[in-house]
Amino acid sequence: MKAYRRAKCSCGYDTLVTDGRTDTQGFSLKQSCPKCKGKLRLSADWIVRGQHNGERIWQNCGPSKKAAEIAIGKILEAKYTGAPLPKKESVITWEEAWVLLEKQNLATNSKKAYSVVKNSFGNMFSGNLANIKPAMVNKFIEARQAEGIAPATIALALGCIKRLYTLAMADLDARVEEYPNLLAAARNISKIKLPTYNNEKNDFWTLEEVHRLIDAAPKKLALFIKIMIETGLRPNNVYSLRFDDITETGTLVFEPEDMKAKKRFITSISKELMRDIRIYQMETGYREWLFPTHKGTKPVTHLKHHWVATCAKAGLEGTPHKLRHSFASNLVKAKVPLIEVSKLLGHSKINTTMRYAHIDRETLDNTLSEYQKLIRGNR
């Protein structure tokens, strides 16, 4: 009967070790991976493992080694006196909760943010989900902020941690009362507030700058930019476009395999863009995808090399997603109602569209001036 800590290596090696001494980053001070000679990261929890009356014992005792030693004493006492083992609370592990989460139908952005949690926070903690403390989560948030991770991504990651508890308790259903420590941990984690941040999208290109970008781009990227600025689609959706998605009347009907909210998207494109697409198809000889890989069997996932060179040539900075911000921002500056902009962007909530509502000082002053004239006219 011994106390162990779980040890994992980045190569996939997984074992139990009795020496729980670690450095400041949680790596074992004594042992290394026998496969790749890399460092072994130890879990926070101690595990008691052994046999009693032919029954296999595997008891999670939390981060305290003393608690593990006490548990061993009680088990040995029961073993030599013939008494039944002390009743212990069942546990749901971090790994089990992740299995539940990965079964969910997640959007691409959520998958990326959640992978940050699994790779970063998961290295800080492994074992009983009930042992996660608010201080540990706050430490994780502070570390991500220090790395310069976007506030919205941090907020999404915190939502992921909370979702683990929701899924674990939903899976337990009626048996959830058997897990009082898990319920208490879930309540404490739910009280952690999301980091506050300014979510306005103030960084966008004017139409003049977009045209400058198009002029500097090679044919394939130029078409990509034109579609982005005319439709406001997300970059990954434009990469996945097929020629069959565009009808002869200029309607773009897009039914993505992987898109936020899995929505069917319908919009219109100009006759000029229709002509550009047909010319592009004739010149390239592409049959299915607008932006295929070299083998032509699937669409590209990015045009990074061309993008970086084109931005440098045009004297501009930004990612392809900035074109979506520019689409929305220029519509708002053209005084298109926000409800219409929301529909064009495919947002399910008008609050999401409010991030793009950049009303410049001149427009505000004009609006206030018109209101003041109205007041004076009614006197």
Whether the CB-CB separation of 292 and 304 falls below 8 Å is answered with no
Domain ends where: 81, 102, 131? 81
Which residues span the domain enclosing 118? Answer: 94-190
CA angle 376-336-240, nearest 5°? Answer: 165
Judge if 213 and 329 occupy the same domain: yes
Residue 200 Cα to chain centre, angstroms: 19
Judge if 334 and 239 occupy the same domain: yes
Judge if 138 and 280 occupy the same domain: no
Domain tally for the chain?
A: 3
Domain membership of residue 202 (yes or no) is no
Domain membership of residue 185 (yes or no) is yes
Judge if 227 and 314 occupy the same domain: yes
Q: Is the pLDDT of residue 325 over 60?
A: yes
Domain membership of residue 106 (yes or no) is yes
254-293 per-position pLDDT tens digit:
766 544 445 667 888 899 999 999 999 999 999 899 999 9
- The residues with which 51 forms a beta bridge, in sequence order, are 56
Domain membership of residue 379 (yes or no) is no
Judge if 173 and 216 occupy the same domain: no
- For the entire predicted model, the pTM comes to 0.54
Judge if 114 and 69 occupy the same domain: no
Domain membership of residue 370 (yes or no) is no
Lowest mean pLDDT among 91-95, 157-161, 308-312: 91-95
User: Long-range contacts for 341-346 (Cβ within 8 Å, ≥24 apart)?
Assistant: 344/232, 344/267, 345/232, 346/260, 346/261, 346/263, 346/265
Q: Is the pLDDT of residue 311 over 60?
A: yes
Judge if 180 and 237 occupy the same domain: no
Which domain CATH number covers 321? 1.10.443.10
Judge if 21 and 74 occupy the same domain: yes
Residue 368, CA distances (Å) to 9, 219, 292, 313, 362 in order: 63, 45, 51, 41, 10
